[in-house]
Amino acid sequence: MKKGKFLTDVYKKIENKSYNVKDAVDFFVGSKREKFDETLEISMNLGIDPRHADQMVRGVVSLPNGNGKTMKVAVFAKDEKAIEAKEAGADVVGAEELAEDMQKGNLDYDRIIATPDLMGVVGRIGKVLGPKGLMPNPKLGTVTADVKAAIEAAKSGQVQYRAEKTGIVQAGVGKVSFGSDKLVENVNAFIDAIQKSRPSGAKGTFIKKVSISSTMGAGININI
């Protein structure tokens, strides 16, 4: 596929070396497009085999400056907890009827939260939610009685991460319009979270390669 003129010019500016986080972020901020606010994305190649339970990397990280994405949140809750969820800003709140709607394929959500008492209902549609990465999980804070805190965390830019089959973890860490300082803080926060999530079964070098890129831009290897 041929590169457009903008992307061709960007690649010409990239030297064949590893950048530190700040220099890489500065590059993207300085090369931003005029008519489109791109997302800065990070990709980390880890020395793990996610097929083994003791080498799985999964968790959440609250980025200090949010991720710039408007999160659509659905909550499984009843009675007082349902009221609490609505007041906290949930986009959709329900129980059996919400599960039926999702079973039909209506899954336009970025995060699904459930109170513990409704996990029986949610479990019935696990085969629908699982492949989309939307299944509530207590380890990720999405199965909780404190729905208010979970909703606020999701809306404020909390990012979930999970290693793919190839051992790669990817996430959007903010908009280029955030500027260098805020993006550097977010990138470093994400890298730190991954470093701290090293599983017990990981052997040898844990973080093999880190790169950042913009939505439609070039990728730059960074040295951490």
Lowest mean pLDDT among 5-14, 53-62, 195-204: 5-14
Residues 130, 137 contacting (CB under 8 angstroms): no
Q: Which of the four pLDDT bands, split at 50, 70 and 90, describes residue 16?
A: low
Q: How far separated are the first and last CA of the chain, in Å rounded?
A: 31
The reported pLDDT for the residue numbered 215 is 83
The reported pLDDT for the residue numbered 35 is 81
**Is the per-residue pLDDT at 65 higher than 90?**
yes
The reported pLDDT for the residue numbered 33 is 73
Average pLDDT over residues 12-39: 80
Going from the N-terminus, what domains does the chain have, and what CATH number goes with each?
17-67+158-221 (3.30.190.20), 73-155 (3.40.50.790)
Task: Note the pLDDT tens digit of each residue in 114-154.
Answer: 999 999 999 999 999 999 989 999 989 999 999 999 999 99
Q: Find where tokens 């990070």 sit.
A: 42
Q: Alpha-carbon distance 159 to 173, whole Å?
A: 8
Residues 160, 140 contacting (CB under 8 angstroms): yes
Fill in the amino acid letter for 27. Answer: F
The overall average pLDDT reported for the chain is 90
The reported pLDDT for the residue numbered 217 is 74
In the chain, DSSP assigns E strands to 39-46, 58-62, 73-76, 92-94, 111-114, 158-162, 168-175, 207-214, 219-221
Q: Alpha-carbon distance 15 to 26, whole Å?
A: 14
